[in-house]
């Protein structure tokens, strides 16, 4: 794609999910963003929960948290704009200390990242000496720096299996998402010590929602994110990260599917697969929704808001993230 992007070509990607009248309000920002990306030698990385005009309209790289971390390692541009939430931008920065990493809205947080502090991790270590600490990437760099290794929802099973083998233990401290930890414990048989953090989006779903969906939409295939409670995961047909849900839909091609996760996920898959009926029992993530085209444009115009990390914290966090990337 060049700076002279053809917005009509881009519109074909999203015409099944964005009406023309709404698209018309986006085109000025989209053209400006493509121009600015060229001028700044910048790339836009977008998480699967970004709205379709961002995901399909301006992103160069899209994916789940694991894919974004992996891709951030190989970016050659001078500037990375992370359309997602703050912890994702921090991960991109710690893997690219020499690059300018921007987040379009510095207040784009995460209820999981906010649930835990470095002191909490130190207290867990002190209470459970010798037990490895596996930390979800949805945490601050300071929390990652206190950890042995990170994981995402896409590689948590592989990370837990590798860590327990390497350390010769059958128990891990897995923080801060108590639901993800319980779901992974059930899948691996490993004893998990956790922390009472939850995703404010996924904790709102319950097993009753899934029973209602199945009654109202016979034959629907239900896919749940592992940040949902164990009862929701048990009631679903399959659980996986956002990229794993997308792969399931695009390879198995169920006639109708319900994704128990954030709203934009269904829109982004529907845009590419108009033949699949997407039932949309979604909850919005207010943090993900802080990214807008206007803020991405502003970010590239002003080179703001730059993510900076204290070097010692970055070094500790990088070690935990790189260990994860070596495993999975
Ligand atoms: P994944 O995209 O890694 O599945 O994560 C979901 C999420 O909630 C990110 O904030
Ligand atoms: Fe955090 Fe949940 Fe939003 Fe993801 S969806 S950023 S885990 S609050």
The DSSP 8-state label assigned to residue 302 in this structure reads H
Phi, psi (rounded to 5 degrees) for 277: -80, 115
Nearest-CA residue for atom 8 of ligand 2: 110
Ligand 1 neighbour 246 (Cβ under 6 A): no
Q: Specify the pLDDT at position 328.
A: 62
CB of 83 closer than 8 Å to CB of 50:
yes
**What's the pLDDT tens digit per position in 131-168?**
999 999 999 999 999 999 999 999 999 999 999 999 99
66 Cα nearest atom in ligand 1: 3
Cβ atoms 94, 318 nearer than 8 A: yes
pLDDT tens across 198-247, in order? 999 999 999 999 999 999 999 999 999 999 999 999 999 999 999 999 99
Cis preceding-peptide flag for 218 (omega within 30 of 0): no
Instruction: Please name which of 304, 303, 293, 280 lies closest in space to residue 50, comparing C-alpha atoms.
Output: 293
Q: CA 132 to CA 96: how far, in whole Å?
A: 26
Taking a C-beta distance cutoff of 8 angstroms, is the pair 229, 255 a contact?
Answer: no
Strands (E), 36-118: 42-47, 61-63, 79-83, 100-102
Ligand 1 lined by 91 (C-beta under 6 Å): no
For ligand 1, is residue 299 a contact (CB within 6 Å)? Answer: no
- Which residues, at least 6 apart from 277, have a Cβ–Cβ distance to it below 8 Å? 255, 256, 257
Query: How many CA atoms lie less than 13 Å away from 101 in the CB half-sphere?
Result: 27
Pocket lining for ligand 2, CB < 6 angstroms: 85, 110-112, 138, 199-201, 227, 262, 285, 287-288
At 237, is the secondary structure helix, strand, or coil? Answer: coil
Indicate if the pLDDT at residue 3 is higher than 80: no
Q: Cα–Cα distance between 184 and 182 in angstroms, integer?
A: 6
Please give the pLDDT value at position 2.
Answer: 46
292 in ligand 1 pocket by Cβ < 6 Å? no
Give the pLDDT score at 140.
98
Distance CA 100, CA 300 (A): 11
CB–CB of 225/261 below 8 Å? yes
pTM recorded for the entire structure: 0.96
State the pLDDT at residue 302: 98
Do 272 and 73 meet the contact criterion of CB atoms below 8 Å apart? no
Question: Comparing 2-11, 105-114, 205-214, 254-263, which segment has the lowest mean pLDDT?
Answer: 2-11
| Cβ count near 17 (within 10 Å) | 21
């Amino acid at each position: 794609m060049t700076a002279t992007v053809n917005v009509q070509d881009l519109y074909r990607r999203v015409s099944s999910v964005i009406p023309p009248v709404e698209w018309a309000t986006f085109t000025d920002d989209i053209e400006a963003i493509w121009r600015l990306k060229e001028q700044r030698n910048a790339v836009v990385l977008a998480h699967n929960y970004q709205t379709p005009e961002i995901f399909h309209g301006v992103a160069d790289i899209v994916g789940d948290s694991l894919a974004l971390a992996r891709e951030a390692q190989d970016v050659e541009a001078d500037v990375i704009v992370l359309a997602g939430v703050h912890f994702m931008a921090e991960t991109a920065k710690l893997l690219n200390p020499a690059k300018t990493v921007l987040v379009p809205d510095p207040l784009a947080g995460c209820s999981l990242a906010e649930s835990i502090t470095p002191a909490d991790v130190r207290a867990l270590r002190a209470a459970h000496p010798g037990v490895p600490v596996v930390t979800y990437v949805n945490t601050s760099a300071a929390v990652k720096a206190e950890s042995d290794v990170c994981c995402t929802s896409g590689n948590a099973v592989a990370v837990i299996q590798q860590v327990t083998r390497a350390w010769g233990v059958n128990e891990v401290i897995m923080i801060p998402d108590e639901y993800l930890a319980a779901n992974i414990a059930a899948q691996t048989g490993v004893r998990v010590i956790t922390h009472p953090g939850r995703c404010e989006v996924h904790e709102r779903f319950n097993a009753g929602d899934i029973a209602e969906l199945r009654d109202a939409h016979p034959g629907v295939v239900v896919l749940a994110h592992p940040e949902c409670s164990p009862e929701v995961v048990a009631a679903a047909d399959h659980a996986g990260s956002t990229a794993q849900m997308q792969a399931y839909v695009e390879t198995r091609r169920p006639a109708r599917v319900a994704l128990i996760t954030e709203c934009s996920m269904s829109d982004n898959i529907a845009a590419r697969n108009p033949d699949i009926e997407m039932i949309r029992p979604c909850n919005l993530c207010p943090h993900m929704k802080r990214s807008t085209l206007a803020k991405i444009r502003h970010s590239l115009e002003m080179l703001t808001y730059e993510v900076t990390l204290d070097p010692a914290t970055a070094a500790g966090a990088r070690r935990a993230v790189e260990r994860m990337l070596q495993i999975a």
